[in-house]
Structure 1
């Protein structure tokens, strides 16, 4: 990151570190041991390019089990740290955050928790279930405002897609914090209205991937747009070039673990019944 942005982020981490000490954090001893092992292996890599750091971090998690809904274990919203089991979103979040703390040179567990909170929650603050950034498009939008990343989809063949995002509010029974909570449901509807008002759902169609894949870099975040009604994206991953072909690393629900995807990005999209294209988010560095 450039000097100004790096300074801003160090200030944010310092401020959040002092704040998060008063909050509950749910994690296990194995999680702290995995964190210590990561720091031991990567603390010397501060000067490496961020793209290399995030790829190496992604590989650190290879074969870790895929487990869904690991953030839904608490009745009251609190920071969940689970480095033992990952879904596609928590995998990507952790790759960004862990790479970030190596780059920033602030490597305490509290610093890690602070940056994870900053990326996972609206305005970087935990304020109930709806403060968590549930929709990928909302997560990207909010983290672009925080200067964590940039949505480059429009620069590499992406098109603005008109789609009504309302899956959570129309499927409250699928979410334990919505099905019996009218206040949360009403707030989610407001968030969906805000997402839909932005006109910022930019998707690179599958047909445009071959012409634009050269502009996707190692470590970029790939979000897979879906045809499912009311939903923006169904999956996220980390771009990875291997043998001059574009693949990706992800927590795979099919393989039940973190893997380097054997199919190329294009072949993966073509083989999916619901994929309509991709969006690309680049971490600022």
Structure 2
């Protein structure tokens, strides 16, 4: 049965942030996905810059942060958040912890920040968007990992943090136009694994082959303004074709709980989907405590960054989420004695 226009537009809008976390499929009630999405209002334009929830105050007499390459200096709230997180991490000696726990700690500092979709596509030209005021699900993952790497390496320069974001978001770690962005999350994992920033551990924690071909962008060309260019369209088509050679795995939703002993705090979780042409629909982190194995993520339906208490229950609550992909952040610190 063909996809209804509201569902199609929701998925198109959301995929521009690597995964369909803007589709309101991330926390729809347990109803058929089409009904869940059709009930939502789909944004038709890039949102205005968000105002932060509970903005962080900058330390007294803090020097302004410098711009990096073509990136503008951060807005005051992002600058304040960056300084505060780095200062708190130093005060609590967070860098001494295992790297997964560093990732989890950083992610916790952003709990309650608002969810905003479409932030990467708001600028008319491809721009390195670095913003700690609000997130979609993928931007939350990227910014958390970038901050965690800065904390672990003892870096307190905004330029280092921005470079970590760029390295994760773009092919070969460099922004070079719209097509250089890693638009599909399976591509994001593959590229960042080759760059030594994550390790795909899905098969190792009980995953099985995931037979999926990503074609959504080229199949919906008319919904992507940037694809009006034949050159950009051809580049995206080549990117999709290249992904056919990437071996994919996923842990089926009814076996996620069995994998809990093999998961670690800070593991990146992506929810595999049954939706045609898409690989995953949402991303976040394992949140691990003695009491639970939860899911820490930027939630569209809750309009904020939050922790869902049980990862398996969260995934099973949405019919289109058929399982999870797991990527483990790689500790950037030199090993002892090296």
Q: How does 1:62-211 map to 2 (within 5 A)?
A: 62-178=111-227, 180-198=228-246, 200-211=247-258
* Aligned match of 1:228: 275
**Which of the pair is proportionally richer in strand?**
1
Distance 1:22 1:240 in 2: 34
Structure 1 residues 228 and 123 mapped into 2: Cα distance closer, same or farther (>3 Å)?
A: same
Distance 1:136 1:260 in 2: 21
Is residue 41 from structure 1 mapped to residue 83 from structure 2 by the alignment? no
Deviations 1:41-63 (A, max 9, x none): 11342222212211111110111
Distance 2:159 2:251 in 1: 38
The two structures, once aligned, show a CA RMSD in angstroms of 1.5
Aligned with 1:46: secondary structure? helix
Distance 2:137 2:176 in 1: 23
| Deviates further, 96-105 or 41-50 | 41-50
Deviation for aligned residue 1:193: 0.5
| Deviates further, 156-165 or 129-138 | 156-165
Deviation for aligned residue 1:119: 1.1
Deviation for aligned residue 1:26: 6.8
Deviation for aligned residue 1:98: 0.2
Distance 1:24 1:210 in 2: 42
Equivalent pairs counted in the alignment come to: 263
* Aligned match of 2:313: 267
**Which of the pair is proportionally richer in helix?**
1
Deviations 1:213-232 (A, max 9, x none): 21011110011001111000
- For the pair shown, the structure with the greater C-alpha radius of gyration is 2
Distance 2:224 2:76 in 1: 28
Structure 1 residues 242 and 103 mapped into 2: Cα distance closer, same or farther (>3 Å)?
A: closer
* Structure 1 outlier segments of 4+, above 4 Å: none
Distance 1:74 1:147 in 2: 29
Contact 1:25 1:78 survives alignment (8 Å): no
Contact 2:68 2:162 survives alignment (8 Å): no
Contact 1:25 1:80 survives alignment (8 Å): no
Gaps of 5+ in 1: 1-19
